[in-house]
């Protein structure tokens, strides 16, 4: 890549403060910026790096007022964090080429329907009556079961397993070794102390613009569907159980888990290792600090929780102050 400050400002809808001809060829973190790189500044804790940074261009918020001279050219935007994400996406899209490719060691059933310029890597398998949309990339060693539907512009990374009958929307990214559609953890106790497996006959529906991290598992439903709504982002090593519904634009950090039949609202935030018990309902815009464990419904939207069992954040902090006193 090679961009001038004025080109970056045009792409991001920003303004240039400094040399509009300043040129960069790569990205860098602001703490390690060097000549020829572009950085961004959004977190006030990193402000001192703005004055020390050797990068040629720094993306900053419109509201930023320097307290010292800044040697780099600044591109001012409404939201620096979102703008650098947009710029990275722009650069990646320019590098990406679309062409039809089918590895000679892949196997695609004749009854499947493959869209335009689809990439299917070696040792990938596409089952009977599967459908894959235009410009989707199915990388090496991916299993796509019978009757699976995958939309357009998706990226399915190596080692992903998609069980038969699953439905995946457009612009979905699934990272390596994720499993979509395994049976949920459902067993009925018998009088002799053994457990009888409950068959799962449903599927998983993943809507548009979802990203799923490596080694994450999303189980199919007993009946009906496990549903991941539009815009959801799930980190690595997460577990979504059978019949769960995750609302639009909710995010889950690594090792979070949602037990069976729980329903999360829109725009929720789950920190690392958060656990949501089964058969619960969580209101929109709820957030949970790392390692929180929720055991009851959340009815009021917009609350923050912490601890196990999870309680509202300020209640937890008051309780924590008492814990500290009791320990002395």
Residues classed as catalytic? 242
Task: Determine how β-strand 119-120 pairs with β-strand 155-156.
Answer: unpaired
Say how far apart CA 316 and CA 38 lie, in whole Å. Answer: 41
Say how far apart CA 209 and CA 132 lie, in whole Å. Answer: 16
As given in the structure block, the two tokens for residue 37 are 């790189």
Instruction: Name residue, tokens 């602001």.
Output: 30
| Paired strand residues for 285 | none
What is the DSSP track for 153-199? S-EE-TT-EE-TT-EE-SS-EE-TT-EEEEPPS-EEE-TTS-EEEPP
5-12 and 80-95 are packed helices; what angle lies between their axes, rounded to 10 degrees? Answer: 100
DSSP 11: H
- Assess contact for 117 and 153: CB atoms under 8 A: no
Q: Which residues contact 200 (CB under 8 A, 6 or more apart)?
A: 183, 184, 186, 219, 220, 221, 222, 242
Instruction: Name residue, tokens 């009757």.
Output: 147
Say how far apart CA 190 and CA 241 lie, in whole Å. Answer: 23
**Closest CA relative to residue 82, chosen from 42, 50, 28, 116:** 42
């Amino acid at each position: 890549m090679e961009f001038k400050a004025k080109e970056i400002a045009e792409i991001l809808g920003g303004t240039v403060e400094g040399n509009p001809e300043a040129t960069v060829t790569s990205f860098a973190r602001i703490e390690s910026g060097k000549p020829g790189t572009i950085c961004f500044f959004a977190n006030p804790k990193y402000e001192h790096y703005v004055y020390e940074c050797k990068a040629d261009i720094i993306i900053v918020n419109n509201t930023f007022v320097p307290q010292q001279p800044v040697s780099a050219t600044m591109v001012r935007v409404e939201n620096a964090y979102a703008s650098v994400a947009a710029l990275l996406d722009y650069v990646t899209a320019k590098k990406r080429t679309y062409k039809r490719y089918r590895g000679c060691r892949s196997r695609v059933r004749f009854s499947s329907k493959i869209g335009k310029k689809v990439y299917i890597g070696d040792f990938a398998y596409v089952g009977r009556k599967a459908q894959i949309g235009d410009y989707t990339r199915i990388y090496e060693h991916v299993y796509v079961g019978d009757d699976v539907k995958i939309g357009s512009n998706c990226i399915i990374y190596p080692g992903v397993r998609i069980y038969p009958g699953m439905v995946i929307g457009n612009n979905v990214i699934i990272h390596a070794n994720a499993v979509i559609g395994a049976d949920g953890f459902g067993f009925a106790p018998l009088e002799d102390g053994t457990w009888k497996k409950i068959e799962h006959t449903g599927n998983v529906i993943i809507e548009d613009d979802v990203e799923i991290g490596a080694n994450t598992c999303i189980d199919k439903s007993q009946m009906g569907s496990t549903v991941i709504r539009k815009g959801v982002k799930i980190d690595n090593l997460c577990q979504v159980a059978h019949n769960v519904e995750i609302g639009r634009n909710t995010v889950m950090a690594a090792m979070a888990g949602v037990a069976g039949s729980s329903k999360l609202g829109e725009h929720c935030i789950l920190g690392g290792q958060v656990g949501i018990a089964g058969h619960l309902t969580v209101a929109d815009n709820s957030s949970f600090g790392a390692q929180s464990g929720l055991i009851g419904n959340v009815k009021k939207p917009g609350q923050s929780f912490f601890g196990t069992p999870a309680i509202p954040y300020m209640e937890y902090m008051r309780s924590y102050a008492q814990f500290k006193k009791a320990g002395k």
